[in-house]
Amino acid sequence: MVQEHYLPYCRLELHETHAIVTTSEGVNIDFAEVQEINAILQNFYEGKPFGLIANRENRYSINPLAAKQFFSDECVVAGAVVGKNLATKINAEIENDIIDGAPIVFFTELSSAVIWIDNRVKKEQDKASAVPI
């Protein structure tokens, strides 16, 4: 089950256990954009745990306080940043210090980020199903 959404500032791919956000070149992501993306995520995942991957192919800016809103949803159990340069890695580390609730890890390959996120989501699902009623 894959859904794609093309917004004026990003492409959003929704998979069973994770979403991949690929932001367009030169845009600025702030609270309005985060709210729009969050609405799509909440509608698609309907309270199920998932991970969020920022595929940073392009240069853009993001308000770290707005990015923090992604992780205010308890269903977001992990975040990954995929990039090819040191500046992207440093930005991911800064974001990890600002954002509460879910770990954010830097990767240089999208496939590695997907594997890590999927494992984190599976652990959360296993924990939830092990809780006695």
Instruction: Indicate the number of domains in the chain.
Output: 1
**Per-residue pLDDT tens for 69-107?**
888 778 899 999 999 887 777 777 777 777 777 888 889
Q: Report residue 81: phi and psi, to 5°.
A: -120, 125
Q: Tell me the C-alpha distance between 56 and 74, whole Å.
A: 24
pLDDT for residue 7 is more than 80: yes
pLDDT tens digits along 26-47: 999 999 999 999 999 999 999 9
| Signed CA dihedral, 71, 113, 3, 66: sign only | positive
Q: How far apart are the first and last CA of the chain?
A: 30
Domain ranges, residue 92: 3-130
**Single-letter amino acid code for the residue at 30:** D
Does the model's pTM come out above 0.85? Answer: yes
The number of beta carbons lying within 10 Å of the beta carbon of residue 85 is 11
